[in-house]
């Protein structure tokens, strides 16, 4: 690991979240809006940058801003999405990545919220 490089890389906050009630929607940490309706259909607020299925290794949601960053950076994601990849997209400490596991569900989803979204 190159330490000098690590210090230059912007820090993206990353946390694992376990949700005991599988029907409860994850709420945006910036504005508090539930990200799913009662039918568990995604209802992204303006802060949601992306949702990534860690098992299927594919995006289920990308904001327009996220799409642009992905295209510009030419980053290819072939594994789990983590804070390192998100930092490569130019995100810093304004981004909070929540790695969500739901009770009774094997899949893990990463919800990334951009606190700088306006
Ligand atoms: Zn929000």
What does the pLDDT look like over 16-53, one tens digit per residue? 999 887 667 899 999 999 999 988 899 999 999 999 99
How many A from CA of 118 to the centre of ligand 1? 10
Residues 6+ positions from 44 with CB-CB distance below 8 Å: 35, 51, 61, 63
Gap from CA of 25 to ligand 1 centroid (Å): 13
Ligand 1 centroid, distance to 116 Cα (angstroms): 10
Report how far ligand 1's centroid is from the alpha carbon of 1 (Å): 35
Q: How many domains does the chain have?
A: 1
How far does residue 61's CA lie from ligand 1's centre (Å)?
A: 15
The parent domain of residue 17 ranges over 3-114
The CA distance from 54 to 26, in Å, is: 16
SS3 of residue 69 by DSSP: helix
Looking at the predicted structure, is the pLDDT value of residue 105 above 90? no
- Strands (E) located in the chain: 13-19, 48-53, 58-62, 95-102, 108-114
Average pLDDT, the chain: 89
Continuous H helices in the chain: 3-8, 64-73, 83-88
């Amino acid at each position: 690991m190159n330490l000098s490089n690590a210090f230059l890389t912007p820090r993206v906050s990353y946390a694992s979240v376990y949700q005991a009630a599988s029907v409860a929607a994850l709420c945006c940490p910036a504005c508090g809006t539930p990200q799913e309706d009662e039918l568990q259909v995604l209802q992204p607020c303006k802060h949601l940058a992306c949702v990534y299925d860690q098992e299927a290794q594919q995006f289920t949601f990308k904001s327009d801003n996220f799409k642009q960053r992905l295209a510009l950076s030419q980053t290819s994601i072939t594994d789990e999405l983590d804070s390192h990849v998100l930092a490569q997209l130019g995100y810093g400490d304004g981004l909070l990545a929540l790695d969500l596991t739901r009770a009774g569900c094997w899949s893990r989803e990463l919800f990334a919220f951009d606190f700088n979204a306006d």
